[in-house]
Amino acid sequence: MARMAAPNASDTKIFTGLKQIAETRHYKAWLLDQFGVLHDGKKPYPGAISTLENLAACGAKMIIISNSSRRALTTLDKLKTLGFDPSLFIGAITSGELTYQHLQRRDDPWFQMLGKTCIHMTWSDRGAISLEGLGLQVVENVEKAEFVLVHGTEALGLSSGDSVSKNLGELEKILEQCAAKGIPMVVANPDFVTVEARELRIMPGTLAAKYEKLGGEVKWMGKPHEIIYKEAMAMAGVEASDSIAVGDSLHHDIKGANASGIESAFITCGIHSSELGLNGFGELADVASVRALASKYDAYPSYVLPSFTW
């Protein structure tokens, strides 16, 4: 059984950069969150690119683990357009990729039972998600649907392959009908919100949480669920004790690492920055505030850092 990482808040160590952690060479695999850690969706955070290079120079095997609803290659391409060198990573695993693989392979009993006809919630402005190769039939009528597939929070997929913009309230109305019918949901991005150029956006996890409240069954395909950590460790060929996860969300990144028996580094400049009373990049969080927030989320990082810097 994997040992619990940093079981209580008083074990947490506060550092100003990753150098001290990396130079111990204790961790062979680094499972890195992207949004809120490496970049804000529009540009890299200061020092992120050189920090990755320094980590690589220390022999770290780096894998992006992301709750993005897009497939892994899209994530690596996006990182490239933002100025990151994709060859520094041994790969990327996204919620979208896990969802795609499980819907295609259907090699576990839960996915075997799932039908092929679905209500599809997706993106519009941010670009629709392709379901090509999955043999799914998208329907608009809940009565005909066997499950709900949630990739985004902006639009409803149409049987024609197009989609129509819907607001959150409209999507929630459809979910009420789905819950009443008792069909399961697959959520291809368990995030509740994301930081995008300093703004918080509502993500699919918010719809999934609503669905559970309505009594619906949800298959969460990403952090904080073990499924994505197991996949990442398999990719790197390492054990939990040789791994460290880095992320800015206590609920997703740190709780997920705790549950998987992996040590973790909490980056405070991301999604929790305002809760921690931080205004500027690189500002150090107050220890008591970090501990209080960690208890609130029941998620305990091994290390706390202001940003992903060396």
Closer to Mg ion by CB, 119 or 203: give it. 203
CA–CA distance, 127 with 167 (Å, rounded to integer) = 16
Closer to Mg ion by CB, 36 or 44: give it. 36
Q: Least separation, in Å, of the C-beta of 274 and Mg ion? A: 15
Closer to Mg ion by CB, 32 or 60: give it. 32
Specify the residue for token string 């607001």. Answer: 167
Closer to Mg ion by CB, 175 or 188: give it. 188
Based on the shown chain and the rule CB under 5 A, indicate whether residue 40 belongs to the binding site for Mg ion: no
Could you tell me if 252 and 190 are in contact, meaning their C-beta atoms sit under 8 angstroms apart?
yes
Closer to Mg ion by CB, 205 or 216: give it. 205
Tell me how far CA of residue 216 lies from CA of 153, 168, 220, 292, in angstroms: 17, 17, 12, 32
Based on the shown chain and the rule CB under 5 A, indicate whether residue 33 belongs to the binding site for Mg ion: yes
Classify residue 45 by its DSSP letter: P
Q: Least separation, in Å, of the C-beta of 251 and Mg ion? A: 10
Backbone angles phi and psi of 304, in degrees to 5: -125, 130
Q: Which tokens is 129 given?
A: 């998600």
Q: Least separation, in Å, of the C-beta of 273 and Mg ion? A: 11
Backbone angles phi and psi of 50, in degrees to 5: -70, -30
List the one residue from 30, 35, 192, 300 that touches Mg ion (CB under 5 A): 35
181 burial via Cβ count (<10 Å: 0-12, 13-18, 19+): middle
Hey, is 41 helix, strand or coil? coil
List the one residue from 36, 91, 204, 222 that touches Mg ion (CB under 5 A): 36
Binding segment (CB under 5 A) for Mg ion, from list 20-28, 80-88, 196-204, 246-254: 246-254
CA–CA distance, 288 with 293 (Å, rounded to integer) = 9
Q: Least separation, in Å, of the C-beta of 176 and Mg ion? A: 29
Binding segment (CB under 5 A) for Mg ion, from list 30-38, 55-63, 81-89, 204-212: 30-38
Binding segment (CB under 5 A) for Mg ion, from list 35-43, 73-81, 115-123, 138-146: 35-43
Q: Least separation, in Å, of the C-beta of 266 and Mg ion? A: 11
Name the helix (H) or strand (E) containing 111: helix 109-113
Q: Least separation, in Å, of the C-beta of 209 and Mg ion? A: 17
Name the helix (H) or strand (E) containing 212: helix 204-213
Based on the shown chain and the rule CB under 5 A, indicate whether residue 45 belongs to the binding site for Mg ion: no
Specify the residue for token string 């690589």. Answer: 56
Size of the site for Mg ion (CB under 5 A): 4
Residues lying near Mg ion in the complex (CB under 5 A) are found at 33, 35-36, 248
